[in-house]
Chains A and B, each alone.
Chain A
């Protein structure tokens, strides 16, 4: 489908006059999809310019850091097997960088200042040059300061050398993001000053009287532990407007389709801090790729996408009607809708925000003993130290301390002010529905449903394993690995070249953390080996544990971090080194 020239002309004129539509052509509302051309960047020589821009959301304009003047930045469309030269010019008055998220490339072009390269100084142009060794949906973003949170991100689509094994008649790219008129440094400072600052969905006395949320006994029990079951997101919809392709709910980004077409949606979560639940009411989604890698098609109605993950889904709308694409923050503090429709100007029903979920004991790493309701609801937890749990299999006699901070369960963690909780029984939660979707009446994707379309290339068993604890103190807003912030001189995580290692991520916090390793893919350990899903970012559920097998095949130094930008900024970050064995002395 070709856009009517008059409309496109109108939009261009509008953008010249008001500067309000600072989005690239492919991301404009009413696009017919990727096939219709517009200003997608392709070829071997691509030029990007980082600069200040104003971005308009909901009738209000704010300061953005944009790429080629737009938020999101240009879509870069490449072909597997080609070489690419990306020249990035910095027009800011501070250093910048671009990290190519999910791309396999020489480490010096990975784009992390201080690890890969020195960064891009003001006024400088840096040329990245590398071969494209893969296909799929990826993205790129700044790895300098908190620039990414101000709009410094864009999407990458790489077509395979042969025929695409995902059959579709049309493609749309949907870049999810969280936009705030509050500067990310101020958001960070506010959270350091007051950990729950942006949570306006806490439990209240009025709620208790109305019979909402936890019982008084459960509230006392959680209070005794100084844990908040509403602590699902820290930066929330109170300060964010969620966007699809730079468009807020009011702007209603619309992607067109013709009824009967198979439409491939390449969904990228480019948010700074927001995990989304994604659904298209009335339309089943067939997940065909995760983090750029094809998976065996699995049909679902809703999935959770962690920050920095990508999912490709195929939808098959047969009716001549509009469908709402709904991305809802997992704490239900806000949502963004976009529209898939046969024509512009159509809207679908936008469901209201669903009820905010409550965390459970399982999210505290207490195993499968959900004390927050059900059979336990009638128990008086106020006398916990003396409670007799003899009848409860699996629980010790002592619930007074709840064993939420027993250093013996994680000897490698440095205890201190930054560690408020340790999961005593971290569970493999990959077969569970993600936070808040436990009781949805429709199908919900779990990680365990993902199976790689191709056989995993490295069939070796791991030669060793390491544990990495995700640690935090929400009240002080401190985030770290193993209780040590990167700034505290944390040592690199060292790997031998081509070594096969199992990495166990243990979440000692009550939030999900999307953990990203640069320069590599890994297989998430679930079910039979052979076709485990291949990812670059894995979301570790609260109190849970995720293992991945890594073949450390990319020499050099790489970043490894939580992709919640403020958690990373607070210290949940490490350098991973991959060296020949003889170098690693």
Chain B
């Protein structure tokens, strides 16, 4: 948990980019992938040994060939195209055992035609709509999902409370519009915290989404609006992790990281440990936020997936204010920490 959240924080600190996904992964040797197979394949079994792979692995040789495309290289035509001149064109072939008795030529590939065969038979106008549909229907996904990970009643010393945390996405595989909301309050008191975020989300790697937009806090008052940027995704070991920075319209910088893990006990009984840490760059007394770490929250929730989409849960949560924020709370006569027993429903559609 801590590892995931720290990972997210590190990633956040390093600022968005294609390298984010790698920051969360263990350190990798960039050369291992090339050298490993070359070192192991016997020369006789390697179809490339004769012309492209000296005994000592030399990746520069591959690149040079890519640029020069000597006629004797049967790969020149297809995988050393101009588009990827810098890449090692042979790595993908290394383990292929040559089928007996075959030699493969090095003819160049024809250029893809720009016309369409069906147009000549049925007419371009007749085929065009179905060709557009063909494109759309083979990868052009648009969809949505609304998920409330938390929607719960919190029983605790003093007044019981409630809490929600949900998000919705709308869009395709890469670009999505995301709405997030979370909040809490006492059942007998007013709403204490409520925020809504509207974000543009973009997939920046297999596991991570970069998100940017606005956050508006309806409570506490006075209300604030923040510009926000963050990432969320799946860290190694299947931790869901997220981190975000928030810059308010009054110039206050705050941050939040959170993470959880779904531990399957059985196929439908799932234990979700969860942590959330908030921090503020400076003191904001009017909303009770101190400088430094402000809030820490640890939860453990056990849900039963009656359906994947519908899972009642019970659990326990500890929430505490820390540092200057705790002092503000004490000064105001509020509790600084407490444990709740929670019951709720996780649902999505």
Q: Which residues of A contact B (CB under 8 A)?
A: 95, 107-108, 112-119, 145, 189-190, 192-194, 197, 200-206, 220, 223-226, 367, 384-385, 393-398, 400-401, 403, 405-412, 416-420, 424-428, 461-467, 469, 473, 475-476, 478, 480, 485-489, 491-496, 499, 502, 504, 506, 525-529, 545, 547, 555-557, 561, 568-573, 577, 579, 581, 583-585
Contact = CB atoms under 8 A, between A and B. Distances in A.
A557 B117 contact: yes
Contacts of A492: 112-113
B272 interface: no
Nearest to A584: B110
Given A226-B207, A525-B102, A585-B111, A485 B138 contact: yes
Given A225-B236, A424-B37, A464-B107, A528 B100 contact: yes
Given A202-B267, A206-B266, A224-B237, 13 more contacts: A117-B122, A205-B271, A400-B27, A409-B88, A409-B91, A412-B92, A424-B91, A464-B106, A467-B78, A495-B110, A527-B99, A561-B138, A585-B113
A200 B266 CA distance: 9
A461 B203 CA distance: 43
A487 B139 contact: yes
B2 interface: no
B222 interface: no
Contact of B203 (A193, A367, A412, A476): A476
B308 A197 contact: yes
B265 A115 contact: no
B139 A579 contact: no
B95 A426 contact: yes
7 contacts: A384-B26, A408-B91, A410-B92, A419-B206, A462-B105, A467-B93, A545-B95
Nearest to B95: A425
Interface in B60-86: 74, 77-79, 81, 84
A463 B105 contact: yes
Contacts of A556: 117-118
B144 to A, nearest CB: 9
B48 to A, nearest CB: 12
B113 A525 contact: no
A485 B121 CA distance: 27
Interface in B8-63: 25-30, 32-37, 39-40, 59
A367 B81 CA distance: 27
Contacts of A467: 78-79, 92-93
Contacts of B112: 491-494, 577, 584
B96 A529 contact: no
Contacts of B92: 409-412, 426, 467, 469, 506
Given A411-B84, A494-B112, A570-B141, A557 B234 contact: no
Ranked 4 nearest A-B pairs via Cβ: A571-B139, A411-B87, A114-B134, A485-B139
Contact of A410 (B91, B135, B271): B91
Contacts of B79: 411-412, 467
B145 interface: yes
Given A204-B265, A462-B105, A570 B139 contact: yes
A428 B101 CA distance: 16
B135 A487 contact: yes
B99 A398 contact: no
Given A408-B88, A571-B138, A475 B78 contact: no
A366 B161 CA distance: 51
A393 B25 CA distance: 25
Contacts of A205: 263-265, 271
Contacts of A485: 138-140, 173
Interface in B292-325: 308
B248 interface: no
**In terms of DSSP, what is the predominant structure of the interface of chain B?**
loop
A203 B28 contact: no
The residue in A189, A201, A412, A528 that gathers the most chain B C-beta atoms within 10 A of its C-beta is: A412
Contacts of B268: 200
Nearest to B59: A408
A226 B113 contact: no
Contact of B102 (A408, A461, A475): A461
Given A385-B26, A401-B26, A475 B107 contact: no
A214 B102 CA distance: 41
A117 B128 CA distance: 10
B174 interface: yes
B280 to A, nearest CB: 32
Nearest to A399: B32
Contacts of A480: 139
Interface residues of B, number: 89
Interface of B: 25-30, 32-37, 39-40, 59, 74, 77-79, 81, 84, 87-89, 91-97, 99-113, 115-118, 121-122, 126-127, 129-141, 143, 145, 173-174, 203-207, 234, 236-238, 263-268, 271, 308, 348
A116 B118 contact: yes
B28 to A, nearest CB: 3
A487 B136 contact: yes
B173 A418 contact: yes
B35 A396 contact: yes
A28 to B, nearest CB: 34
B44 to A, nearest CB: 16
The residue in B74, B112, B136 that gathers the most chain A C-beta atoms within 10 A of its C-beta is: B112
B74 to A, nearest CB: 7
Contacts of A119: 130
Given A224-B236, A496-B110, A108 B121 contact: yes
A114 B89 contact: no
Contacts of A528: 100-101
Contacts of B78: 412, 464-467
Contacts of B234: 226, 475
B311 to A, nearest CB: 12
A243 B26 CA distance: 46
A464 B75 CA distance: 8
B233 to A, nearest CB: 9
A577 B115 CA distance: 10
A464 B236 contact: no
Contact of B143 (A189, A384, A394, A488): A189
Contact of A385 (B27, B121, B140, B264): B27
Given A394-B36, A403-B33, A488-B139, A226 B236 contact: yes
Nearest to B87: A411
A502 B47 CA distance: 14
B118 A398 contact: no
A396 B36 contact: yes
A397 B32 contact: yes
Contacts of A527: 99-100
Contacts of B101: 528-529
Nearest to A418: B173
A394 B102 contact: no
Given A203-B264, A401-B25, A464 B105 contact: yes
Nearest to A583: B113
Nearest to A574: B138
